[in-house]
Amino acid sequence: MTQQGPHTAAIHGGLDPAEHRGAVSVPIYQTSTFAFPSAEEGAARFGGTSDGLIYSRLGNPTIQALEECVAALEEGAGAVATATGMAAVSTALLALLRQGDHIIATQPIYGASRALMQKTFARFGITSTFVRAADTAVIRSALRPETRLIYVETPANPTLDLVDLEAAVEVARFAGIPLVVDNTFAGPHLQRPLAMGADLVVHSMTKSLNGHSDVIAGMIVARQTSMLEAVRHTAISFGTTMDPHQAWLVLRGIRTLGMRVERAQENAIKLAQWLEDLPSVAWVRYPGLPSHPQHDLAKRQMSGPGSMIAFELPGGVDAGRILMNNVRLITLAVSLGGVESLIEHPASMTHASVTAQEQREEGITPGLVRLSVGCEDLDDIRADLAQALSAVEEATLAIRSAGVSPTGTGASRPRTRQDPKHLL
Identify the domain boundary among 208, 225, 254.
254
**pLDDT band at residue 413, thresholds of 50, 70 and 90?**
very low
Q: Does 317 share its domain with 218?
A: no
pTM of the model: 0.90
pLDDT single digits (tens) 303-334: 999 999 999 988 888 888 899 899 999 999 99
The answer to whether the Cα torsion of 356, 362, 368, 370 is positive or negative is negative
Which CATH number goes with the domain that contains 335? Answer: 3.90.1150.10
Is residue 71 domain-shared with residue 147, that is, in the same domain? yes
356 strand-pairing partners: none
pLDDT at residue 24, rounded to an integer: 85
Amino acid, single-letter form, for residue 317: V
Average pLDDT over residues 162-168: 97
Domain that holds residue 351: 258-423
| Residue at 27 is within a domain | yes
Residue 218 and residue 273 in one domain: no
Residue ranges of E strands in 40-115: 78-82, 102-107
Q: In terms of Cα–Cα distance, which of 21, 90, 37, 29 is closest to 64? A: 29
The one catalytic residue in 101, 161, 164, 182 is 182
1 within domain boundaries: no
Q: How many domains does the chain have?
A: 2
* Catalytic entry in 110, 255, 285, 382: 110
Round the average pLDDT of the chain to a whole number and report it. Answer: 91
| pLDDT-derived band at 345, boundaries 50, 70, 90 | confident
What's the rounded mean pLDDT across residues 37-47? Answer: 96
pLDDT in tens, 387-405: 999 999 898 787 777 765 5
Q: What angle do CA 75, 80, 83 make, to 5 degrees?
A: 130
| Pair (247, 262) in one structural domain | no
Q: Among residues 102, 390, 133, 67, which one has the least CA distance to residue 287?
A: 133
User: Do 214 and 187 fall within a single domain?
Assistant: yes
Q: Residue 421 catalytic? A: no
CATH number at 164 reads 3.40.640.10
In a domain, 116, yes or no: yes
Of the listed 207, 223, 263, 321, which one is catalytic? 207
Residues 168 and 279 occupy one common structural domain:
no
Q: 79: Cβ–Cβ under 8 A, 6 or more apart, which residues?
A: 67, 68, 70, 71, 219, 220, 221, 222, 228
In the sheet that 283-285 helps form, which strands lie side by side, from edge to edge?
283-285, 308-312, 368-372, 342-344, 331-332
Is 295 a domain residue? yes
Q: Quick check: is 182 catalytic?
A: yes
Distance, in Å, from the CA atom of 420 to the CA atom of 228, rounded to the nearest integer, reads 53
Q: Are 312 and 405 within 8 A, CB to CB?
A: no
342 membership: H or E segment, kind and range:
strand 342-344
57 is catalytic: yes
Tell me the pLDDT band of 409, cut-offs 50, 70 and 90: very low
412 and 294 assigned to the same domain: yes
Does 56 share its domain with 126? yes
Residue 414 has pLDDT above 90, yes or no: no
Q: Is 379 a catalytic residue?
A: no
- Give residue 97's pLDDT: 98
Spatial CA neighbour of 268 closest among 244, 287, 293: 287
Calpha distance 189→208 (Å, rounded): 10
Residue in 260, 307, 245 with CA at minimum distance from that of residue 81: 245
On whether both 133 and 244 belong to a single domain, the answer is yes
